[in-house]
Amino acid sequence: MNIDNPIFAERYPASDAGNGTGLTVGVKDCIDIAGRRTTCGSRAFAQAAPAAADAAVVKALVNGGCRILGKTTMHELAYGMTGINGWTGTVENPRYPGLIAGGSSSGSAAAVAAGLVDIALGSDTGGSIRLPAACCGVIGLKPTFGRVSREGVHPQNSSQDCVGVFASSLDLVDQAMALIDPAYVVSPAPAAVRVGIVAVAAEPEITEAVDAALEAAGSHGDRVPLYRMEDAFQAGVVLMAAEAYASYGHLIETGLLGADVEARLRAAPDVASAERVAWAEGVRRAFSAAVDRALEEYDVLAMPTLPAFPPELANLGDPAAVLRLSALVRPFNLSGHPAISLPLQAPSGRPCAMQLVARHGDDARLCGAARALSDPLARSEAIPMPTRNPE
């Protein structure tokens, strides 16, 4: 592990990056690359056999001429939201030093924010792309559940996890999605977007930043409630706990896990009792239907990505408060709708973001709507994007 530069768990020599001349890519270390170990950010897999084949998404990018620069660091077992990792080293936030980079796809978000790669692959089970994107001031897309292949992605079985993309621009998001999903056809920005602004609890300064961004884009959306949003957050936590325990519970007694992940896995059977799982599946059905109904009237639903500002690494506070950072993103893992996080900056200079959600399968239209509702000039002035470091 590279403790000195923990953005990359493993950085590949130029000779190993492939012969493509297209986009440069970082790949989250829960996604297989042929001949490389997939450690999922955990000492428990430090001696795992190298992957026999590329994950489907990696193969698609290589076939599209991309150059894979390395595996990016992640929160251990993709089961945490801070990016803190005692084995690999903790990823630092390139744009907002001292604040968490977010998790679990911390290295992928940071690699894009630092200009080390054009795009990066992440995975999102409970906000693990959108949350670090918001923390690091980049764009993060969680596609519709099941749209992008999870072949060669760990854990193998998940009812909420999606492979998605980090980038510094919507054009790069479109390019990446067109490579990893042959059915993705780039959608231009529409002349008008019907926006439903979801009524959620968030810090006033964050809500004001989202409202200002929509107003700057000429959008005057309606305030809309979303039925069982809080239940959907809790249900997502329950189902993730059940599935994480099924995949990694056998590691609890090995002594190879970080303290935070071990504690969450030990608690998982209580969090995800049979009764709670049945309840969560009922919430999934009810909440998914509620989102579908709202999207009959609107093209996209808009809200803050995070309800609070990213905390300082040195002052994380109560773990329950950290978990609630995913209160506005996790529900859409439960429902499976595509969602994108667009970076903003609050008047206080702290990072925040706007999340847009669209109908199942409308990933390209979601990105088109995001283009129509973003203000790239204002955003680039507020959050300077470094140029990619030369090789």
Residue type for position 86: G
Angle at alpha carbon of residue 236, lines to 232 and 241, rounded to 5°: 150
Looking up tokens 């993730």 gives: 240
Q: Is 128 noted as a catalytic residue in this protein?
A: yes
Cα separation, 127 vs 65, in Å, equals 29
Q: Is 149 noted as a catalytic residue in this protein?
A: no
> Which conformational region is residue 218 in: left (phi greater than 0), alpha (psi within -120 to 50 degrees), or beta?
left
Q: Report CA-CA distances (Å) from 284 to 113, 133, 238, 291, 336.
A: 33, 25, 11, 11, 9
Instruction: Spot the catalytic one: 128, 168, 326, 335.
Output: 128
Q: Is 59 noted as a catalytic residue in this protein?
A: no
Cα separation, 291 vs 174, in Å, equals 24
Instruction: Spot the catalytic one: 42, 104, 123, 158.
Output: 104
Cα separation, 39 vs 71, in Å, equals 10
The residues assigned a catalytic role are 28, 104, 128
